[in-house]
Structure 1
Amino acid sequence: MKKYISILTLSAGLLFQACTKLDQEFYSSVTPETFYKSEKDIKAALFRPFTHAKWYLGEDRWRLQEYTADNFAITTKGRHWYNGGENERYHYHKWTADDGWIWGTWRGTLMGVALALDTKNDLSKLDYTKFALSADQQQADMAQLDALISYFYLRGLDYFGGMPIFESLDQESLPRNTDQELFLHIEKLLKAALNNLPAKKTGDKEEGAIRKAAVAAMLAQLYFNAEAYIGKPMYEESRQLSQALINKEYGDYQLDPTWNGVHGFKNNNSPEIIWSMPSEFKMLEYNWFYADFYHYNTREYFSQDMGGNNGAHLTPSRKPDGTLYSSDFKLGSPFETFSAGDFRKSPYRYLGTENYEGMFIVGPHLSPDGKAILGGEEYNKQPLNFVDQVARFSEVGQGKKYSSVAQLPSKMSEGEENTGIRLVKVPIPNLANNTLRWGADMPVIRLAEIYYMLAECEFRVGDKTKAVSLINNVRKRNFKDNIDLNPVTTANIDKYRFLDEWSIEFIGEGRRRTDLIRWKAFTTENWWDHSPSNSSHLNRFPIPNQAIAGNNMLEQNPGY
């Protein structure tokens, strides 16, 4: 823990040395009482661990959740993206304790805890009245930091199981606590924070602060997945909290009336968002996603100036011959899981003045003025057409590797530059409206998740009717005149329909692996180019070898 803080302090010191000419006055030591001069300084300190949380929500954490599951893949595309077999290892559940995404996630989790503890240590020593702030405000700030520590540990519990529990910056090289001990620590912090944070009032905008409802939601999430975490079902506890959230007992939230209100450029105004990470132009919080998903020439599609790396896409719904995979496996096929008539299933198109439609890049790749966008690899100088398939169609023909489409294999090694449908969950404006770029905040918790958690809890205790009603209340906004063309019914609701609904509503929001594990499907089900391992130890990632090398008190997870 000290090591993380030392690295961060050193980085800050180097930054100031490079950018600031210091006055000829030096201090032998800096204490919170001498460093903090105003309320602005307190807020800056409080926000620092939240900027780490913003980073933590994306990149490697997102990749561990999504590329190991059934909705997304990074296929090898000719000479691109094999990456030493890394992408295939995650897809086939053959990762190792040396893989980078796993190390980045372990390290990032504990760095988040360290940053929050560091800030908490400083702010707890201050006399807030000297800054014209109340003791209640100080207590609320401490509660926000406890909730943020809980968030990092909750994610760490999900990825790794038990982790070392740090409660002070003086501790280092601690052994791992058990899953149960970490679960109880998270629960204790959240329950304490719940009593000391304000609730959202009607008309309040979401600005990134953790309020009472976000803490209640995290506690509900902890209980919701308790069976996977500690082997004890706690759906009733999650059900009670979820119902209370929907009843507005922890603040005034309601479902957004439009499908894209929670994801659009001004989503901080959405009544549905319980907690989000703020964003703004040029801060590039989503540039990792843009780079992973979009073709080099997709900038012409968006009428933008950013080129992508053309790696990731949805797993295919169709075989090379065009027939659906639906009879081959029950998971995956994410694009065709969306019903016909669903607003989200349309191709993405920016309409100007902050408006857009659709959520996917699919079919002929055209610029806003209708001009064909050309490829640069297998389809060099030919029009691009993004297909819901994975196969080397460019190698079919007379004198080529395959004489017919029927011979084409479909697997991780067989991608092309136009392989796979691309998700546009975060809207992209054109250059004319470029001040909107990255304007959409990153939702962490939204009320739709609470509806779905409550629905699943009700289903598990036998109330199918209520479960169906809760899901359909969310689904209907995605259809014209709120008329759902494929509603959930008491006849069709089961494990697989639930997994479909979680996939549809939260596609690309970095949670898929957790949902599969809760339904005991992560290691037991097959999907495109993935066979089940039936090895339950894979529900947890290994403790990175780099972490163990730095702390020989850490024990590896079973099975690795």
Structure 2
Amino acid sequence: MKNIKIQATLLVFALVCATGCTKLEQDWHDKVVPETFFKSKKDVEAALFRPFTHARWYMGEDRWALQEYPADQFAISTKGRHWYNGGENERFHYHRWTPDDGWIWGTWRGTLMGVALALDTKQDLEKVDYEALALTPADKEAHINQLNTLIAFFFMRGLDYFGGMPLFESLDIEAPPRNTDQETFDHVEKLLKDALDKIPAKTAGQKEEGAISKAAVAALLARLYFNAEAYTGQARFGDAAILCQEIIDQKYGPYSLDATWYGPHSFNNDTSPEIIWSIPSELNYLQYDWFFNFFYHYNTVKNFDTEGSPWNGTHLTPSKKPDGSSYRSDFKLGSPFEKFEDADLRKRQYKYLGGDRYEGMFIVGEHLTPSGEPILGGEEYKDLPLTFIDQVARFTEVGPGKEYASISELPSTMSEGEENTGIRLVKVPIPNNADRSRRWAADNPVIRLAEIYYMLAECKFRAGDGAGAASLINAVRERNFEETDPNPVTAANLDEYRMLDEWGIEFLGEGRRRTDLIRWNKFTTETWWDHTPTSDHLKRFPIPTQAISGNNSLEQNPGYE
């Protein structure tokens, strides 16, 4: 049965993702069908959570890339002979992507595959006699609606990336055309509203283990309304605010802000009261680790005192020009590291302290081993101590007989990086080899209560309640300082850019920046480091060439024809 199910899943993948067809004809052998295969609660739960493993993959890699690299906080600069990648990284930074780009194709097919996997499981579980397995009709209703919520999640992400999606509620539909933006929005809304009353709330002290709770449904519906204006042209901030306030008031379960900044991201974040929905992670099992190779220098394993072979790619966009002056006088967006207050506990150098304890979340400045020995470079700084800088430029090409006579002549662009270029984010703690069993013990937060606070704050700000908005943001900010917050949000200093700064600081690297910029109409209209305004049609990605080739009923997005 396991092999049959895998074959069926692969058929879903092939048809949905490669040819645009969603028809699934399962060939059940020896009368092993859903009605007879499920023998226990364990069998049911194993089937239920299979689509959630796809969600784990979906939360990173290409989907993260489409949210962060075209925005103002992250980049993969070309570092000498490394990372030009056929110009892919520059295309996304400069908003020059095409329907043939792999990140776009991977996201389109991954979105529809998620829907298909959830539908496949839903159709199986609908046929199961739950009472015969000592389960209740309420259990069945909750399971089916968890899958409906997962389907809504994937369709909502597709709406965010591409606009209207090809909607299907059965795996027996061939080559469906795209529905409109509004139809996709309405479909997602209906699935979530129907599920809201049918999924139980998490109880006090219950660990977050990946299942979708009542609060997660409410939070996803709030997200839908929060970004509705970008999706359909109709603002729904009032509806988002109502749901956010209800979540904060614990109508959907006992959630509260974590007392520490690291609680929602730490090794034991499954017990954090702030986590509303997360994807479990464990060493050698559903590891939340896709970023490790992309983010860190080849020799950073010596700093972590662990093993691995990182690729030295992703870094924060720079806050400083080659001459050391700040970009903040030039651009209102970007400069993510400099947006953190110096007293912010998160701004410290990342250091693992042992016993699941750590501090800071950046690799910046001198790169040292745990014993304090300098870590040496292997490219431009071969055999020299590495120092990670908040700048992008070819400093090794300055001097007598070299390319540039002085630092003042240095350009700072996507093509001008070196091996120590850019500050690196360590949002997921990495233990040393002594605690290797704790590696990747931190789950991947999908929704946390801080997001609900910030959504409600933005809704209040848009409604003219600056003081109410400031109070909500400061409730989150205060945990980031040993003493008093040196720069709290006030009604006087809160404007649209400060609001975006607060989103960018709290949720740095959590795969949402593009959506936030679009909601404020900044994604295609603003300037940041090595990026100038682009065309409005780029708020949506194109439908991939491979998708249209396999399903000629799919219409391309405007501007990409």
**Which category of TM-score, normalised to the shorter sequence, fits these structures?**
over 0.9
Cα distance between partner residues in 1 of 2:246 and 2:281 = 29
Q: Residues 221-266 of structure 1: CA distance to partner in whole angstroms, max 9, x if unpaired? A: 0000000000000000000000000000010000000010000000
Cα distance between partner residues in 2 of 1:130 and 1:67 = 50
Q: Residues 417-438 of structure 1: CA distance to partner in whole angstroms, max 9, x if unpaired? A: 0000000000000000011100
Question: Does residue 1:231 correspond to 2:233, yes or no?
Answer: yes
Equivalent residue letter for 2:539: N
Equivalent residue letter for 1:518: R
Verify the 8 A CA contact 1:144 1:210 in the aligned structure 2: yes
Q: Aligned Cα RMSD in Å?
A: 1.4
Local SS of the residue matching 2:290: helix
Q: Structure 2 unaligned runs (5+)? A: 1-5, 15-27
For 1:503-542, what aligned pairs fall within 5 Å after superposition? 503-533=504-534, 535-542=535-542
User: How much has 1:287 moved relative to structure 2?
Assistant: 3.1
Q: Residues 337-389 of structure 1: CA distance to partner in whole angstroms, max 9, x if unpaired? A: 00110000000000000000000000010000000000000011110000000
For 1:5-16, what aligned pairs fall within 5 Å after superposition? 6=8, 8=10
Per the alignment, residue 494 of structure 2 pairs with 493
Verify the 8 A CA contact 1:359 1:424 in the aligned structure 2: yes
Cα distance between partner residues in 2 of 1:288 and 1:138 = 33
Local SS of the residue matching 2:191: helix
Question: Does residue 1:70 correspond to 2:72, yes or no?
Answer: yes
Cα distance between partner residues in 1 of 2:379 and 2:245 = 52
Local SS of the residue matching 1:317: coil
User: How much has 1:6 moved relative to structure 2?
Assistant: 4.3
Cα distance between partner residues in 2 of 1:128 and 1:204 = 24
Cα distance between partner residues in 2 of 1:495 and 1:440 = 33
Cα distance between partner residues in 2 of 1:70 and 1:557 = 24
Q: Residues 430-449 of structure 1: CA distance to partner in whole angstroms, max 9, x if unpaired? A: 00001110000000000000
Per the alignment, residue 354 of structure 2 pairs with 352
Cα distance between partner residues in 2 of 1:514 and 1:70 = 12
Verify the 8 A CA contact 2:12 2:117 in the aligned structure 1: no
Verify the 8 A CA contact 2:200 2:214 in the aligned structure 1: yes
Match of 2:331 among 320, 323, 329: 329
Matched residues, number: 542
Equivalent residue letter for 2:489: V
Verify the 8 A CA contact 1:471 1:488 in the aligned structure 2: yes
Per the alignment, residue 121 of structure 1 pairs with 123
Equivalent residue letter for 1:241: L
Local SS of the residue matching 2:358: strand
Cα distance between partner residues in 1 of 2:547 and 2:349 = 43
Verify the 8 A CA contact 1:315 1:333 in the aligned structure 2: yes
Match of 1:35 among 34, 37, 48: 37
Verify the 8 A CA contact 1:76 1:413 in the aligned structure 2: yes
User: How much has 1:9 moved relative to structure 2?
Assistant: 5.4
Equivalent residue letter for 2:396: S
Per the alignment, residue 310 of structure 1 pairs with 312
Q: Residues 443-481 of structure 1: CA distance to partner in whole angstroms, max 9, x if unpaired? A: 000000000000000011111110010000000000014
Per the alignment, residue 272 of structure 2 pairs with 270
Per the alignment, residue 198 of structure 2 pairs with 196
Match of 1:372 among 362, 371, 374: 374
Question: Does residue 1:86 correspond to 2:93, yes or no?
Answer: no
Cα distance between partner residues in 2 of 1:281 and 1:252 = 29
Verify the 8 A CA contact 2:122 2:144 in the aligned structure 1: yes
User: How much has 1:285 moved relative to structure 2?
Assistant: 2.8
Per the alignment, residue 283 of structure 2 pairs with 281
Per the alignment, residue 24 of structure 2 pairs with none
Equivalent residue letter for 1:73: A
Equivalent residue letter for 1:554: L
User: How much has 1:29 moved relative to structure 2?
Assistant: 4.3
Per the alignment, residue 549 of structure 2 pairs with 549
Cα distance between partner residues in 2 of 1:293 and 1:41 = 38
Per the alignment, residue 485 of structure 2 pairs with 484
Question: Does residue 1:57 correspond to 2:59, yes or no?
Answer: yes
Per the alignment, residue 18 of structure 1 pairs with none
For 1:391-430, what aligned pairs fall within 5 Å after superposition? 391-430=393-432
Equivalent residue letter for 1:238: A
Question: TM-score, normalised to structure 1's length?
Answer: 0.95
Cα distance between partner residues in 2 of 1:5 and 1:347 = 47
Equivalent residue letter for 2:289: N
Per the alignment, residue 19 of structure 1 pairs with none
Verify the 8 A CA contact 2:99 2:542 in the aligned structure 1: yes
Cα distance between partner residues in 2 of 1:415 and 1:318 = 14
Cα distance between partner residues in 2 of 1:30 and 1:509 = 42
Q: Structure 1 unaligned runs (5+)? A: 13-25
Local SS of the residue matching 1:262: helix
Per the alignment, residue 96 of structure 1 pairs with 98
Per the alignment, residue 156 of structure 2 pairs with 154
Q: Residues 140-190 of structure 1: CA distance to partner in whole angstroms, max 9, x if unpaired? A: 000100000011011000000000111001012000000000000000000
Cα distance between partner residues in 2 of 1:11 and 1:174 = 15
Per the alignment, residue 250 of structure 1 pairs with 252
User: How much has 1:30 moved relative to structure 2?
Assistant: 3.0
Cα distance between partner residues in 2 of 1:84 and 1:234 = 41
User: How much has 1:397 moved relative to structure 2?
Assistant: 1.1
Per the alignment, residue 15 of structure 1 pairs with none
User: How much has 1:300 moved relative to structure 2?
Assistant: 0.2
Verify the 8 A CA contact 2:248 2:453 in the aligned structure 1: yes
Verify the 8 A CA contact 1:224 1:238 in the aligned structure 2: yes
Verify the 8 A CA contact 1:282 1:437 in the aligned structure 2: no
Per the alignment, residue 17 of structure 1 pairs with none
User: How much has 1:284 moved relative to structure 2?
Assistant: 6.2
> 117-126 or 197-206: which moved more?
197-206
Runs of 4+ aligned residues of structure 1 deviating over 6 Å after TM superposition are none
